[in-house]
Amino acid sequence: MVFECYLIPKMTPKFKPELVRRPRRLRRSVALRRLISETVIRTDDLIAPLFVRDGTGQPEDVESMPGVVRHTIDTLVETCRALAGLGIPAVALFPCLAAQLKDAEGSRSLDEEGLILRAVRAVRKACPDLLVITDIALDPYTTHGHDGLLTADGRDVDNDRTVEVLARMAVLHASAGVSLVAPSDMMDGRVGAIRSALDESGQTETGILAYSAKYASAYYGPFRDAVGSARVEGAPYLDKGTYQLNPSNRREARMEIELDVREGADILMIKPAGPYLDIIREVRDAIDLPVAAYQVSGEYAQIHAAARLGWLDYKRCRDESLLAIKRAGADMILTYFAQEVAESSGAP
């Protein structure tokens, strides 16, 4: 048997590219990577959403949102003091009313001694420098869970009748001392109506943080559990598609944003945040007003759930999710991670 040996000649390339640019030079150490970070989450960027209920005693856990609770007014005040001490500039308050206080017209939304206004006054007294934002929508107050009043046949939300109530509601909240009212209902014309009502009542300094592009998202489920606005047992699926944005639409979001700018919004909000980073970026590039993004309950819950199963690194995914929202162009982020991020050094 004959074996043939083949000698492979040493190849000398005729051309060796000169790597003048080696991007990895600036990734070699943690210190270098920190030094050239383009996007940084600061405590100043964070708004903490908080839930409040009537009664006394300890807060109630929200089962679908680990670490999130329904506060009493007393524990809400304690938490707000802690958040202010951490440097978080703002909280967004959401009421959870007892079922017997709800009706089809959401009449408790205009109660001057209602839960949310008592909570606002208590927080403002305890933390005068903390910005307080309140939700302007009827879903926490209605038995049907919709963000507005229903039409006579009960098959849709009556836009103009709802806007009248929202404008009155905004004036009550401004009188209680909120810094920003945040209409989340997506009714046509509500920003302009609220601005006019605030100005006519002398509340010219109260700003409007408009939920300008709020999508009919599947990510809201845990929030609805927290405020008790999920559908009534035995009722059909709570479809908000006639007023919230179609998740497939980008141009429609741009139109809604432009309308809110013309009607007097001070800050524009995109909700949810993570699944709609393209919308955040488009708004940031096109509009000069501040842009907010709401990292919603479902985004929060899925990170917790996957981490508990050992499928994701909790802290790294939490921080990366916030960085992505800020990198997309959000000036401020409503997130249920606010307190723990601030506690763990103030930035991811």
Catalytic positions: 214, 271
Strand partners, 93: 50, 134
Measured CA to CA in angstroms, residue 162 lies from 105, 150, 223 at distances of 9, 8, 22
Nearest-10 crossing angle of helices 297-308, 314-328: 150
Query: 162: closest CA among 185, 135, 130, 195?
Result: 185
Q: Give the three-class secondary structure for 297.
A: helix
Rounded-to-integer distance, Cα 37 and Cα 313, Å: 21
Output the six-digit token pair for 70: 């329904």
Q: Strands 69-71 and 131-136: what pairing?
A: unpaired
**Other C-beta atoms lying within 10 Å of the C-beta of residue 285:** 8
**Other C-beta atoms lying within 10 Å of the C-beta of residue 146:** 26
Output the six-digit token pair for 29: 């150490």
Rounded-to-integer distance, Cα 226 and Cα 315, Å: 24
